[in-house]
């Protein structure tokens, strides 16, 4: 079982050695590694790789490797690197309730801007697949933790250490009356959201956007009675509580290279206004702070002005996890680091409701090795 789950396909894109080691660990055992296409390997033998994925899915189904649990949820607990336990429940999201547009008014919305150019590759992988496995994390805003905190566990389905330093994962079946009671709690949670904004996609938005795009094509070919029952209308996700104490939001900082630091900072300062949260900048031994006015999301204003400067003057921007890394990179010549303030959990849903999705690369949920691992599967063909 330890060789079955592997980490989200969009992780370690610049470290192919991570995926090479994963392949060695898996060996010839059945594994979700053979059901996905790691982004680090995109552009290499794509058609043949996708065809192998499709054939492997069909073989795993016919060989009886997967154990079916109809009309069920799975409650999961993930032990992270710091010892904290992140709780969630795996179920299905109705794609008709989701939209990744910047100013969507659907019950389920993206948190960060979707890069449309990243969707076609995922669509290509999904459209011929008979199974899906998911790394999508969906967030509810539940300070009292009545929803996930109240889930009743049934049979333990798995209990294992995740490969490559991913921590520990345990899952329990939630079915029958237990599932009915969770359904009731879910309806009560949704009824409390007077603005209609119920869930936010915390991770895996591009994969969910691909599922949505595939469904939009499929539904045009369906009769009215098939629209609700078609399995491709739904996508598997893990629902987690934004206010789970193990849910760590980390800002993603910026490093700009190949620029005149003085010119960049002077340009940025011309667009500043007093008040609001400060963005710290560092260039060698020089440092300072920028503010963009009260009520203005600093990451949005910063990203907009950086994009405009680079488009006109040149330079490169990179996105950095960890302030200490960004500070170290700022010591390089012709480089400026921008250290972003932390995202407050209380502000996330409100900000998206008022201002739309956040800029790309605004925050990360936990460290790279704490991203969701593929484990559960479901059929997405009739």
98, 138 contact by CB (below 8 A): no
169, 32 contact by CB (below 8 A): no
**Looking at residue 363, what is its pLDDT?**
82
Question: What is d(CA 239, CA 199) in angstroms, rounded to the nearest whole number?
Answer: 9
- Specify the 3-state DSSP secondary structure of 229: coil
**Looking at residue 118, what is its pLDDT?**
84
Q: Residue-wise over 277-298: b if at least 16 C-beta within 10 A, else e? A: bebbbbbeeeeeebbbeeeebb
**Looking at residue 251, what is its pLDDT?**
87
**Looking at residue 104, what is its pLDDT?**
92
Averaged over successive runs of 10 residues, the pLDDT of the chain (382 residues) comes to 96 89 97 95 89 97 95 97 96 97 94 89 94 97 95 98 97 98 97 95 94 95 88 97 91 94 96 93 96 86 93 92 89 96 86 86 84 97 90
Show the tokens assigned to 168. 């520990």
Pairing of the two strands 108-110 and 98-99? parallel
Hey, what's the torsion of the CAs at 195, 186, 133, 372, to 10 degrees? Answer: 80
Report H helices in the chain. 16-26, 46-62, 119-126, 176-192, 205-219, 224-227, 261-269, 298-313, 323-329, 345-355
Question: What is d(CA 44, CA 33) in angstroms, rounded to the nearest whole number?
Answer: 16
78, 84 contact by CB (below 8 A): no
**Looking at residue 365, what is its pLDDT?**
81
């Amino acid at each position: 079982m330890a060789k079955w789950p592997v980490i989200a396909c969009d992780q370690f894109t610049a470290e192919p050695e991570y995926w090479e080691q994963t392949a060695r660990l898996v060996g010839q055992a059945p594994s979700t590694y053979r059901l996905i296409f790691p982004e680090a390997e995109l552009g290499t033998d794509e058609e043949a790789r996708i065809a192998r994925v499709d054939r492997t899915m069909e073989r795993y189904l016919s060989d009886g490797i997967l154990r079916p649990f109809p009309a069920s949820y799975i409650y999961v607990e993930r032990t992270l690197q710091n010892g904290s336990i992140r709780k969630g429940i795996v179920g299905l999201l109705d794609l008709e309730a989701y939209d990744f547009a910047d100013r969507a008014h659907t019950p389920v919305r993206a948190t960060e801007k979707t890069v449309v150019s990243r969707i076609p590759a995922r669509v290509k992988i999904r459209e011929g697949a008979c199974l899906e496995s998911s790394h999508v994390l969906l967030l509810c805003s539940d300070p009292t933790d009545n929803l996930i905190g109240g889930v009743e566990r049934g049979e333990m389905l798995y209990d294992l250490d995740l490969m490559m330093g991913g921590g520990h994962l345990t899952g329990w079946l939630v079915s029958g009356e237990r599932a009915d009671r969770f359904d009731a709690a879910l309806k009560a949670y949704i009824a409390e959201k007077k603005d209609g904004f119920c869930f936010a996609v915390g991770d895996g938005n591009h994969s969910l956007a691909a599922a949505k795009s595939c469904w939009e094509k499929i539904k045009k070919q369906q009769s009215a009675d098939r629209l609700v029952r078609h399995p491709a209308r739904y996508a598997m996700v893990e629902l987690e509580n934004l206010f789970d104490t193990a849910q760590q939001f980390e800002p993603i900082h910026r490093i700009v290279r190949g620029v005149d630091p003085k010119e960049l900072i002077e340009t940025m300062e011309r667009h500043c206004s007093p008040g609001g949260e400060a963005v710290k900048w560092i260039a060698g031994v020089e440092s300072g702070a920028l503010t963009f006015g009260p009520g203005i999301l600093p990451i949005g204003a910063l990203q907009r002005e950086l994009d405009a400067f680079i488009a006109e003057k040149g330079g490169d921007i990179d996105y950095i996890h960890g302030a200490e890394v960004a500070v170290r990179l700022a010591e390089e010549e012709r480089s400026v680091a921008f250290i972003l303030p932390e995202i407050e959990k209380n502000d996330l849903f409100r900000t998206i409701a008022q201002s739309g999705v956040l800029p790309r690369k605004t925050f990360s949920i936990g460290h790279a090795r704490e991203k969701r691992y593929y484990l559960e599967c479901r059929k997405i063909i009739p």
